[in-house]
Amino acid sequence: MKFAFDTDEVLRDTLSKMKATYEKFFIEDYVSEEGEEEFEYKIIEPITSHKFSEHFLFPSDSDYINFLYLDFPMNIFGHSPSISANTFNTFSEIQKTVLSKRDKLSVIGMGVAKIKPASLFFYSKYGMEVDNIQFYNKKTIKKIWSKFDVIVTANPDLLEIKPKNKISIKINTDYNQNYESDYSIDSIEGFTSVYNQLKLKHA
C-alpha cells in the first residue's frame, strides 16, 4: 500500500509555533507605525476551527497571508518543533520496521510560496530519510488522494474530500473533531495498531 504522512500537527507542531510567532511580533514587540490605524492584535482561543484567520486577528486578509506565506514562513514552518521529542524516532521506526517492504511511504505537506523551502529545512533539521516528499495547495489538494491509499493527516480539508476507496487516519486536534475519518489516533505512536488492523483486513 502507498502511505502518506501529512506534516502539520502530524510531524510538526506548526500551530504552537504560529501562536508563539504571532505573540512575539504582534503583541509583545509590536510597534505601530506613525499614522497607522489602531488595531487590537489577539488570538481567539480555543482554536476549534481550521480557518486560522478567524483566530489570528489581522487588519485584513492580505496581512494574514503575508504573515504566513511571506513574512514569517521560516519562523513558523522551518523552526517549528516536532510534535514531541520522540516523533521522528517513531516515524523512523514506522519507516524501517513497521511497514512491509512492499509498502511505500511518502511525506506530504501544504506548500505555498516560501513554505516549501521552510518545510525542507524542517525535514532536514530532524534528519528525515523519506525518498518522496510532495507538496499540495488549494488547487492541487484533490489530486493528492489519487496518489496514495492511506493518508495520515490532521487537515480537515483532506479529510473532507477523501474518496470512498481510500483510507484516512486522523490525528486528533481541537480543530478537526467534527470531521469523519476511517481511523483516528492521538499521535503517530498509534499508527502501528491501525496498520496491523489494515494488514488483517487486506490479507
- In percent, the amount of the chain with pLDDT more than 90 equals 89
In whole angstroms, what is the distance from residue 75 CA to residue 72 CA? Answer: 5
Residue 56 predicted with pLDDT over 80: yes
pTM of the model: 0.94
Residue 8 predicted with pLDDT over 80: yes
In whole angstroms, what is the distance from residue 159 CA to residue 176 CA? Answer: 9
Sketch the domain layout of the chain as residue ranges. Answer: 2-13+82-201, 14-78
Rounded to 5°, angle at Cα 75 from 69 and 79: 125
- Type of residue numbered 122: F
| Residues 42-51: tens digit of each pLDDT | 999 999 999 9
Q: Which CATH class is domain 2-13+82-201?
A: alpha beta
Instruction: Determine contact, residues 22/67, Cβ cutoff 8 Å.
Output: yes
| Average pLDDT for 95-104 | 94
- Tell me what pLDDT residue 38 has: 79
| Average pLDDT for 8-36 | 87
